[in-house]
Structures are given as structure tokens and as C-alpha cells.
Amino acid sequence: MSIILGSLILLSISYCFHIWFRLKIGEALIPAVGTIVVVLLLFGLSPLSFQWGLISLALFAVVGMVVFIISMINHKERKPVSQWEIVPIIFLVLNCFASVLYLGDHLHYNDEFHQWGAAVKYMLENDRMPLYDDFLGDQYYFGTSLFHLFYQMIGGYNEGNMYASSFLLQWIGILLPISAYKMKDWKICAIYTLLAWFGGYSIYVYFGKGIYTDAAVFCLAGGLTGWSLLLENKKRLLPVLIPGLGLLFYFKPYIGLAFCIYVLFFFFGMSLMADQKKSVLIKKSLFWGVLLMALALLVLHLDGRLLSSGVWDNQAINDAIYRLRVSWSVMAESLFGRDLSRYSQLNTYAISLWTLEVAMVGIAGYLSDEKEKSHRLIVLMVSSIASFIVFVLYAESFIISYEESLTGRSVGRYYSIVTGYLFLVMLSYLLHVIKKDSKRIMPVRFGIVLMLSIFILGIDEQYVIAATSWNNSEAESEESYLLAQTVIDKLEEHYIQEDTKILFFDQCCANYIVEESLPYYLGDVISSYLTEVYGYGLDGAHTRFAWDKSKGIYSFDELLEEKGYDYVLIWTTNDYLNQWLPKVMDVEGTLIDGGLYRVIYRDGEAQKLTYEGDLY
């Protein structure tokens, strides 16, 4: 019920914007979300607390309810049901779905434990915004976490509700293009909603269930772009576009900023290319301009890296060329041979879906006598794809860590983001086309139904596991999650007391869910791999995604003494640790996986590890 109550407050706030700016309710949801995020941010940074922010939002909602009631009383004639706006109805139905789909769920994915979910949990427990030096030891942009916090403050800490609020945030963006539609258009809106639901599942692995910020970004960006293309009354543009662009950047700064540019690129590009006499020139200028801008950024960044390091030797140049070559090969493999969503039964490759999206726009434009408009849209779509590929290459080669870039773990998600974005743009254009009463567009309607049927084929029993809480026992992370909970219970029952500190070691990095969830649930009691050494090898100490050659296993005692660790939990060991750790300090018995060892200090110096028990 807390999800529905929170959404009623959200709708009440949106009604104020509906009255003030003459927005549709679906449009007004965007500034309403922005209001929630900004109000909680300001109160979280102030000497006051989030509770005062929630009270302020509740008062805002009361104003909205009063305005709604007064407007209903003043209307002498009630609108027939067929003239009601359909988005509020769909949104309330989605709230009911969310309340059921994620009932009793828990977090499942790695980054949720140390980023998005961790931020929500921190803010809820501490009643303030995290400081950059006390939240996981690094600067952090709080993305969608403030929106999730809003629902958590209403219903209390609930991990299932984090998935529910994330689900709703995605749909606020998706529903934006149909905000002007009425109940009489329910068939078109139903097809659009179903296509977005099932298509999203096959495009992005965490669509629906997941608090990663990627889906919120591409849904909002795609919704804004599609809505701006369909918008007839431009007076409603700025009250939605400005907060929408602000949310995009705040949700995920680098990717969000890129999509801010794409939203504006589509909006202004469609207008600039409307003059057919100049269309060819402008099309080429826009296409090559975007590519050259992205390439210039890449070159300048590479040049800046070499200049800032003061190194122009062959080794630096060879390293840069090698990283570019590896990144490009990983990207090419992901483009043609890696599914966008591992849960879907469909083999959805980025290149095939991009082809589908462009082809559908072209066919719809040809059959609806809007060739010129569809050509403009296709040029913008192709330009976006090309520039995004360069952007990903740039990020993989120079922004993210060297070790992570070689694995290419992020490439698939990047492709999913731009594919999902263009998918919503395509659907918005198809909405515009199929509203026309013409026999020529019957093939377009047929194609939409066929596309929906194909995406439905991507659903099987795996959908229940991946997108709901109904069969968590079969989830791929469930065994690890339950193991982590068992370890936590043992530690809390037998070992953890006030001010206890535990160093977590994982030589083989064998279980990321355990590695991430122990600090999430135990807090400062146990070290996090993000801020502390968690393994040793020939290359030094393993920290985060890299090796620190300045620290070796011979500094292990200094690590214990510096932080005053009481225990060492060796989740996995290996031959290197088994051979070298006993040479650094006295170890009672042999090192085993899952072993907990007490640190014995003499005169403030760590001298010995004594075996306490097996936590497996």
C-alpha cells in the first residue's frame, strides 16, 4: 500500500503543475518527480532532515488535492469517460502491478549493494545526504536514489519497494509520449504499453526489476524525445523539457549528459531539416558534425592524457593504441554476437534491433506519405547510433579503468541503453502514423502487432524469475544471497560486538554477491572491496578493479594495525596466500575458504591470526 500512497502523493503534486502550466497529467509527472528529488536533496543537505522534506511534499500534495476538488466542483459538466486522460489510469494500474510483482523481494544485483540501494539505505538510516568522504570512500552521484527514498520514507525500509519505485520511474518516462491520449484511444495505448513492456525485457537485462539508473535514463530520454516530436502545443514544452533534462543529468551524469544532447539534437534537428531545399546539406552537416565532434573529443582527451603525464614516448602511445584496439574488438563482438538481455528467449543483438527501428520508421513514413519527415528522423537516428558508438569507444578506452575496459563488461549495457532509447522514439513515431485513418497504413498496424507477437515470444518461465519476486528460489543469485545471510547471522550471533571490525579477504573473487552484500548489511563492521585491500598477489595488493604495486603482502600487518581490525574473514584463499601469509605473521592452523581468524595484538602490533571457525 505504501507504493500506491506514494504515487497518489506524486499524482497530487503533478496536478499542481497540471493547473499552473496547463500540462497533461502525464507531462506534469516529470516536474513532479523533479520536485520530489530537489526538495529531498535540499533538506538532506540542510541542518534539517529528510522528514521535513517529506512533510513539505505532503503539504504540496494537499494543495494539489484541494485544487483538484475545487476544479471538480467548478466544472458544471463532467467529461465523459472517453475524454479522460489515459495516462493517470495506466499509471495507477502499473502501481497495482508493482505492489504485487515485487512483494517481499530483496536486492539481487552487484551494483545495487554498493551504489544505488546502498545510497537509499544510508539516507534512510542516517536521515541526511551522504557526505562524499563517508559513503563508500568516493564521490557519488545519488541518481535515482532520492526518488526511491521518497517511497521508503512512506513505507519503511523495503527492498522490494525499491524495485517497485524503480519500475514506476521507468514508466513515467515511457508514458510521456501518450500523455495527450484519451480513454477513447485505449487500443493504441494498450499496444504501445505492451510493446514497451515486452520489448524492454528483451532489450535491457534489468528492465522492470532493477534499480540500475540506466533504464530510468533511456526511458526518460526516449519519452522526452518521442513526446517532443508529437507535441503540437509548444507552450507546454519548457515546463517538461527543463526538469526532464535536469533529471537525466542527475540520474547518471555522463550518460545522462549524452542523452540530454540527443534529446535536444532530435528536437532541433527535426525543425532545422524541415526546409526541404536545405535538407540534404543539413542532413550531411548534422551527420558528420556529430561524428567529428565525438572524434575531436576522443583526440583531445588522448592528447590531454599524454600531455598531462608529460610522456610522449613509444610506450604511452603503444598502450593507447592497444587499449583502443582491444576496446574496438570487444565492441564489435558485442554489436554482432552478444545478446542485449540474457533473460529473453530472443537473440536480440544491437545491430539487428537498430536495423528494425530504422526500417520501421522508414516504412511507416513511406506508407503515410511522410517520407520527408521519416527521412529526417532516420538521419537523426543513424547519427545518434554512430556518435554513440564513438562515445562508447571513448569511454572504454580512456574513462573507465584499464582492467575493467579489457573485460568489456559495460559495452552490452551501453548498447542496450541506446537501443532502448531509439525503440521508444520509434514507437512514438509509429503512434503518430497509426492514428491516421488511411488504408495505406494497414501494413504498419500489422507490423506493430507482428513486432509485439515476436517480443512476447521472448517471455518464458525465466521471466517470472528475472522480473518478479514470485520465484526467487530459482534466481541465479539466490544461492549466494542466502549464503551471505547465513554468514551475517553467524557473525552477528557469535562475533560482532560494539566497535568490532572485520577485514574481508577474497583471493579468487569467487562470489560477487557475497562480496557486495556483506558490507551492505553489516555496514562499517566489515571492510568493502571498494575502499580496502581484499587480496594479494605477485602484482601487489588487489583494490577495487586494479592492482596496487606499492602495497604487498609484507604490509599485511600494517593494514591490520592501521584500521584496528579484530578479525579477518578469508572468503577464498589460494596458493599464494597460503604460502606467503604465514611468513608475514604467525597463523594458527591452515588457511581455509570461509575461515574466520581473530587478530592477536601485542603492544599494538598485529602478531598472530587464530582460527575461530568456518562460516560456510
pLDDT for 134-146, tens place per residue? 555 455 567 799 9
Do the beta carbons of residue 43 and residue 49 sit within 8 Å? Answer: yes
- Edge-to-edge strand ranges of the sheet holding 546-548: 536-537, 540-543, 546-548
Task: Give the per-residue pLDDT at 141.
Answer: 62
Given its phi and psi angles, is residue 445 left (phi above 0), alpha (psi -120 to 50 degrees) or beta? alpha
Grouping H, G, I as helix, E, B as strand and the rest as coil, residue 234 is: helix
pTM as predicted: 0.91
Cα(366)–Cα(287) distance, rounded to whole angstroms?
22
The mean per-residue pLDDT over the stretch 595-605 comes to 93
Cα(576)–Cα(382) distance, rounded to whole angstroms?
51
pLDDT above 50 for 310: no
What are the Cα distances from residue 162, in Å, to 10, 112, 208, 572?
16, 10, 11, 31
| Grid coordinates belonging to 362 | 522508414
Do the beta carbons of residue 63 and residue 160 sit within 8 Å? Answer: no
Rg (CA), the chain: 27
pLDDT above 50 for 561: yes
pLDDT digits (tens, 9 = 90+) for 81-111: 888 999 999 999 999 999 999 999 999 988 8
Task: Give the per-residue pLDDT at 312.
Answer: 46
What are the Cα distances from residue 529, in Å, to 155, 301, 532, 593, 615?
31, 29, 5, 17, 19
Do the beta carbons of residue 431 and residue 192 sit within 8 Å? Answer: yes
Helix, strand, coil percentages (3-state) for the chain, rounded to 5, are: 70, 5, 25
Task: Give the per-residue pLDDT at 143.
Answer: 77
Q: How many CB atoms lie within 10 A of CB 169?
A: 23
What are the Cα distances from residue 387, in Å, to 160, 187, 393, 491?
37, 36, 10, 50
Count Cβ neighbours within 10 Å for each residue of 179-194 and write b for 16 or more, e otherwise: bbbbeebeebbebbbe
Do the beta carbons of residue 279 and residue 67 sit within 8 Å? Answer: no
Q: How many helices, marked H, and strands, marked E, lie in the chain?
A: 24, 8
Average pLDDT, the chain: 85
HSE, CB side, 13 Å, CA atoms: give it for residue 606. 25
Do the beta carbons of residue 286 and residue 380 sit within 8 Å? Answer: yes
